[in-house]
Amino acid sequence: MSRRQVLAAAGGTGLLAAAASPAKAALRARRGRAAAGGGTPEQIHLTWGENPATSVVVSWASPGAAIRPAVRIGQRVIPAEPRQYTDGINGQTVWTYYARVGGLRPGATYAYAVTADNDGNAADPFSATFRTAPQGRAPFRFTSFGDLATPNAAWVLSYGQSAYAVDAVESFQPLFHLLNGDLCYADLNPTAQPDVWRDFGNNNQTSAANRPWMPCLGNHEVEFDNGPQGFTSYLARYTLPDNRVAGFGGYWYSFRIGSVLFVSLDADDVVYQDAGAFVAGPAALAPVASTSNPPIEPGTSFYVRGYSGGAQTAWLERTLAAGRGDDTVDWIIAQMHQCAISSSATGNGSDLGIRQHWLPLFDRYQVDLVLNGHDHDYERSFPVRGADLDAGTEVGTGAVVNTLRPHPVTTKDTGVFDTSRGTVHLVLGCGGTDGNLDDYGIDAAHGQRQAKVFTRANRPVPTSTPDVYARAAADAVEDATWSARRDTSTGYGIAVFDVDDPARSETGGQTSITVTQYHAVGADPVNPATGAKGAPTPDYTEFETFTLVRPRSR
C-alpha cells in the first residue's frame, strides 16, 4: 500500500503529513521563541475534561509570566489558572497555564484561541479547532504510541522521527491520541530539562492543539529534585481527569468515550525495574546554587516503586469493577508505560510487578486491551488469561523462577480475537525516540521466542571504573509463548484503533475494534538485523491489521 493509499484508506486529509519536511521539523522546535511577549502562548495542547463529550482542558506554557492568560471560545473568555514551578536542577522558572472548557455539545467542532495581555501575537493569537467526543454508543477512532522525544537531536534520545510521528497522528485524524509514557526524556538531559520539555511541547502542538493527547507517566518522567516522585514537570503541563485519590491527582485517571472505558495507569508504582533518573558518574550531578539542592552523587537512582502505598491498585480495582458493572460499557482499554509482556532483546523486557499487581485485575474484569510503550518497537500478544507457573529461568544461576508468565488462551494467529476470553497486550514504544529496540529474544536451545523478565530491582552497582555505576538488565528469562507478532523491520510506527459503528452491532450481538499498525520502514538509526543506517521518514505504511471482538454488554 502506498502512502497515498494509506492516507486515503484512513480517511485523513494527508495534507499535513505530506507537507512535513526536516526543515519544517527544525522550525517547529523554534516556533515558540519567535514572539517577543513574555506571555506568548506556546506548547499548546488539549486533554479531555471530566466528560469528553462536553469538556476539554486547554494547557500551554509561556516564556515568562503571562498577564491575564485566557482561552476564547465562541463568546466566552475563560481565564486560565497558572501553575508555576522552578526546575530543581537548573533553577529555571517554568510558567504553565490551563483552562477548563466545559458546557460543550457532544460530537461538535469548536474553534478556540489562546492569548494573554502580554501575548506577542495578541493581534492574531494562536487559534485552532477541536472536536468533542460523541455521546452514547458511537464509532470513533483513536491512535497511540509512546516514547516520542523531540525532533531536536541535540538532546539525548531525541530524533527527527519525533516530528513525523506527530504528523502521522494528524494524517489519521483521530478523535484523540494516547501517549503512553516516556514523553521527552528530559531526565537524561538533567541540566536542560525545561528546554527539552519546551521542544517536546512545541513539536506536539502541531497535533495536540487540535485533538486531546492523553498521556501516562513513564520512567523518564521521574526527575531529580522535581517533586516527591519527580513528576512536577509532567504534572505542571497536564491537567487530567480527577481520580479523586487525595495527593495523587493527575498520576492516573480514567475517562469514558462511547462504550469504551479508558484507564491510564502509572506503572512506575508497581514495576520492579529501576529505570528512573540516575547518576551514572563519575561526576556528581550538581544543581545550580539558587536551588539550594545538594549534589546528587554517582550511583544515585530515583526509585519510586510502591510510592502510592497501594492506593493506585485499589483505585484500579474500584474503577474496573464499576466499568464492568456498567451495561453501557463494552470495552475496557488500559494504557501504561512499562510492559507486562515484551520480548525485546535490546530493550527492557517484561516486569513481574505488573503481572503480580494488575494482571489478576485485568483477568477478573476482562480488560480487553493493554497499550504499553517503553521498548522502542512493536509487539502484539495473543489474548492472555491466568498464568503459567514456574516458567522462568534465573539468568545468573539457571534456577527456576516463577515469572507468572501470562497464559495465551490461543496461539492461532487468526486475526480476530475475542477479548472477553483474554487480554491482548501491545508494545507501542514506537513513537520517535532515538534508539530503536526492534531486536527480539530467541531461546537458542529450541528457537522459541524468549523474553527477559525483571523479577527484582536492578539497583545501581559499582562498575570496574571508579565512581561509575550501572544498572543490570532483567534477571530472568522465559519462553514467550504469549508473543504473537513482532515487527523486525523498524522500531517506529503508530497504532490506529477504529471502534465499530453500533449500527452494525445490534443489542445482544458482537462489537469490534479494528486495529492497524502502520510503521515507518527505514527510520531505524541502525537496523539491528543488517547494521544499515536509516534516517527519519514521513512514510507510514501498513504493517498489520487485526480485529478484537467481544459480546455487547447489552
- Confirm if 69 and 77 have CB atoms less than 8 A apart: no
Min dist CB 371 to Fe ion, Å, is: 14
Nearest to 199 by CA among 251, 163, 145: 163
Could you give the CA distance from residue 360 to residue 385 in angstroms, rounded to a whole number? 8
- Confirm if 126 and 113 have CB atoms less than 8 A apart: yes
Q: How many residues bind Fe ion (CB under 5 A)?
A: 4
Min dist CB 437 to Fe ion, Å, is: 10
Min dist CB 347 to Fe ion, Å, is: 9
Minimum CB distance to Fe ion smaller for 62 or for 335 = 335
Min dist CB 390 to Fe ion, Å, is: 28
- Confirm if 222 and 230 have CB atoms less than 8 A apart: yes
Could you give the CA distance from residue 500 to residue 497 in angstroms, rounded to a whole number? 9
User: What's the grid cell of residue 42?
Assistant: 506556546
Q: Does 374 bind Fe ion (CB under 5 A)?
A: yes
Beta strands in 49-171 (DSSP E): 56-62, 70-73, 76-79, 81-86, 93-101, 109-115, 126-131, 140-145
Binding mask 158-197 for Fe ion (x = CB under 5 A): ------------------------x---------------
Minimum CB distance to Fe ion smaller for 218 or for 538 = 218
Could you give the CA distance from residue 460 to residue 463 in angstroms, rounded to a whole number? 9
Could you give the CA distance from residue 502 to residue 512 in angstroms, rounded to a whole number? 9
Min dist CB 495 to Fe ion, Å, is: 17
Min dist CB 417 to Fe ion, Å, is: 26
Binding segment for Fe ion among 33-41, 45-53, 212-220, 301-309 (CB under 5 A)? 212-220
Nearest to 293 by CA among 235, 220, 230, 238: 230
Minimum CB distance to Fe ion smaller for 374 or for 452 = 374
Binding residues among 101-160 for Fe ion as defined by CB under 5 A: none
Min dist CB 277 to Fe ion, Å, is: 12
Min dist CB 513 to Fe ion, Å, is: 25
Contacts of 530 (CB under 8 A, 6+ apart): none
Minimum CB distance to Fe ion smaller for 147 or for 195 = 147
- Confirm if 348 and 454 have CB atoms less than 8 A apart: yes
Task: Find the length of the chain.
Answer: 554
Which residue, judged by CB position, is nearest to Fe ion in the bound state?
A: 374
Minimum CB distance to Fe ion smaller for 374 or for 425 = 374
DSSP H helical ranges for 328-377: 352-357, 359-364
Q: Does 218 bind Fe ion (CB under 5 A)?
A: yes
Minimum CB distance to Fe ion smaller for 267 or for 285 = 267
Q: Does 375 bind Fe ion (CB under 5 A)?
A: no
Minimum CB distance to Fe ion smaller for 238 or for 417 = 238
Quick count: other Cβ atoms within 10 Å of Cβ 445? 8
Minimum CB distance to Fe ion smaller for 357 or for 374 = 374
Could you give the CA distance from residue 427 to residue 218 in angstroms, rounded to a whole number? 14
The single-letter code of the amino acid at 309 is G
Binding mask 468-507 for Fe ion (x = CB under 5 A): ----------------------------------------
Q: Does 42 bind Fe ion (CB under 5 A)?
A: no
- Confirm if 424 and 547 have CB atoms less than 8 A apart: no
Binding segment for Fe ion among 14-22, 164-172, 373-381, 503-511 (CB under 5 A)? 373-381
Minimum CB distance to Fe ion smaller for 87 or for 182 = 182
What single-letter DSSP state applies at residue 312?
Answer: H
Beta strands in 247-340 (DSSP E): 253-257, 260-264, 331-335
The single-letter code of the amino acid at 377 is D
Q: Indicate which single residue of 219, 229, 232, 481 sits in contact with Fe ion (rule: CB under 5 A).
A: 219
Minimum CB distance to Fe ion smaller for 254 or for 372 = 372
Binding segment for Fe ion among 7-15, 79-87, 217-225, 229-237 (CB under 5 A)? 217-225
Pairing relationship of beta strands 140-145 and 126-131 according to DSSP bridges: unpaired
Minimum CB distance to Fe ion smaller for 170 or for 223 = 223
Give the number of C-alpha atoms closer than 13 A to the C-alpha of residue 336, restricted to the C-beta side: 29
Q: Does 376 bind Fe ion (CB under 5 A)?
A: no
Min dist CB 220 to Fe ion, Å, is: 6
**Residues engaged in binding Fe ion (CB under 5 A):** 182, 218-219, 374
